[in-house]
């Protein structure tokens, strides 16, 4: 029965491309219009047809990790490209829609992130071995979307460009008090302290990030201007001239959006500026992939812009600028994947083969979602004062030393 239902599911879903599936009983079935590179998958577990119908994202991810689903020539990139493109074009068949509706209905419970749960969710991902992140991130450990102002930029150059772009949006002057919500390993905060003369306070829930960020500040001689606290953003007090949050809003959870922007409103001075940089979706609100929620980012969620702005609008905050980055994260993730694969023997020594397959699946699936399924990055600039920033974006490109930006803006 489940093989027949899976056949109907794949017939609806895979209309473009050349795709074949060999079932556990040895039967091979073909899908798509036969165009493009051939992708062939073999299912080795008799339970997989049922699992693929009921929860395809989880079943595919776990099947690949465990080796119960194999891809000819291990062409994970080709398989996920074909699958994600077809999902984006054709959506789910009618008989799966009730399951998707139930999943969306349960997302508020899944994303309920009080402080203890938020801390555990952060530890799941960000307290992995520091050596792992050294294998694929840039020298500054920027674990968020880079800004490819020129297509020939290296990853390190594009991450520096991202930090400069954000710093310009913040319009920082020497001595300003800056709060970095979700400071990571300290790269953004240290840049603002060193290059712009800011007085930075960063907060994180990751013990590994907290220790490294402060060690980096001490080593750079910036400990008097950049300090990093093991603290939830909800517990921060005081007033700040600027607030920056890069790659953290995805972990806030829909039930807490109001609290998040209320806290920004309370912490900003009357003429202050905040910049929230987050992954977003160009489609309506949905739910997190169950595989991502279980293995990569528990409690995480990529918001639609309508969800973000619905939480901003009741606050005493003006959206002074909203910028959408489209394929920048796809390029960032490709760099990360290529670096990870180049160091995969070291990753295998740190963990095991299953972990390496999981991490490759995560990086490739994420890249291709940005590339083919309308996932983007939003940069939302906010202030209580609508005159706090210049009237046009020209101010972002006026610095002659930033010729790469000037060329990109032309």
pLDDT band per the 50, 70, 90 thresholds, residue 405: very low
pLDDT band per the 50, 70, 90 thresholds, residue 126: low
Contacts of 261 (CB under 8 A, 6+ apart): 311, 312, 315, 317, 382
- Using CA atoms, how far apart are residues 356 and 347, in angstroms rounded to an integer? 7
* Start-to-end C-alpha separation, the chain: 58
Fold observed for domain 115-409: Rossmann fold (3.40.50)
- Strand segments, DSSP code E, in 100-185 are 177-181
Mean pLDDT of 89-105: 65
In this prediction, residue 89 carries a pLDDT of 87
Domain-wise residue ranges, the chain: 2-105, 115-409
pLDDT band per the 50, 70, 90 thresholds, residue 125: low
In this prediction, residue 122 carries a pLDDT of 65
pLDDT band per the 50, 70, 90 thresholds, residue 59: very high
Mean per-residue pLDDT over the chain, rounded: 91
Rounded to 5 degrees, what angle do the CA atoms 174, 180, 186 make? 90
pTM of structure: 0.91
In this prediction, residue 97 carries a pLDDT of 64
Q: Please check whether residue 216 is in contact with residue 186, taking contact to mean a CB–CB distance below 8 angstroms.
A: yes
Q: Please check whether residue 308 is in contact with residue 380, taking contact to mean a CB–CB distance below 8 angstroms.
A: yes
pLDDT band per the 50, 70, 90 thresholds, residue 401: low
- Using CA atoms, how far apart are residues 405 and 402, in angstroms rounded to an integer? 6
- Asked if the model's pLDDT at residue 410 lies above 50, the reply is no
In this prediction, residue 1 carries a pLDDT of 85
pLDDT, tens digit (0-9, with 9 covering 90-100), for 200-220: 999 999 999 999 999 999 999
What token pair was written down for 114? 């009080």
pLDDT band per the 50, 70, 90 thresholds, residue 408: very low
- Using CA atoms, how far apart are residues 11 and 29, in angstroms rounded to an integer? 10
């Amino acid at each position: 029965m489940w093989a027949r239902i899976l056949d109907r599911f794949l017939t609806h879903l895979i209309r473009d491309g050349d795709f074949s599936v060999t079932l556990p009983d040895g039967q091979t079935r073909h899908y798509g219009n036969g165009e493009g590179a051939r992708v062939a998958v073999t299912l080795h577990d008799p339970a997989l047809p049922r699992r693929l119908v009921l929860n395809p994202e989880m079943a595919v991810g776990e099947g690949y990790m465990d080796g119960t689903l194999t891809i000819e020539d291990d062409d994970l990139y080709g398989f996920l490209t074909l699958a994600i493109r077809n999902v984006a074009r054709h959506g789910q068949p009618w008989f799966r829609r009730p399951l998707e509706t139930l999943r969306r209905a349960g997302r508020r419970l899944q994303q309920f992130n009080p402080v203890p749960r938020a801390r555990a969710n952060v530890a799941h991902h960000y307290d992995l071995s520091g050596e792992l992140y050294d294998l694929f991130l840039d020298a500054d450990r920027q674990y968020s979307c880079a800004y490819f102002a020129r297509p020939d930029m290296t990853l390190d150059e594009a991450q520096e460009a991202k930090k400069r772009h954000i710093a310009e949006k913040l319009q920082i002057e020497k001595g300003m008090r800056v709060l970095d919500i979700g400071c990571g390993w300290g790269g953004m905060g240290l840049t603002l302290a060193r290059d712009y003369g800011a007085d930075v306070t960063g907060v994180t829930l990751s013990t590994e990030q907290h220790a490294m960020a402060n060690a980096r500040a001490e080593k750079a001689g910036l400990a008097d201007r950049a300090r990093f606290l093991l603290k939830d953003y909800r517990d921060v007090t005081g007033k700040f001239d600027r607030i920056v949050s890069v790659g953290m809003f995805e972990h806030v959870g829909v039930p807490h959006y109001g609290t998040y922007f209320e806290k920004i409103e309370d912490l900003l001075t009357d003429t202050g500026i905040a910049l929230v940089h987050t992954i977003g979706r160009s489609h309506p609100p949905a739910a997190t992939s169950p595989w991502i929620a279980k293995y990569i980012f528990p409690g995480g969620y990529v918001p639609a812009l309508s969800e973000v702005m619905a939480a901003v609008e009741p606050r005493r905050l003006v959206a002074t600028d909203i910028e959408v980055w489209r394929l920048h994260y796809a390029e960032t993730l490709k760099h990360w994947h290529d670096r990870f694969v180049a160091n995969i023997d070291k990753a295998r020594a740190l963990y095991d083969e299953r972990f390496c397959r999981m991490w490759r699946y995560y990086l490739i699936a994420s890249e291709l979602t940005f590339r083919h399924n309308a996932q983007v990055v939003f940069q939302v600039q906010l202030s209580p004062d609508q005159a706090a920033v210049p009237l046009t974006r020209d101010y972002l490109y006026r610095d002659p030393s930033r010729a790469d930006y000037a060329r990109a803006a032309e």
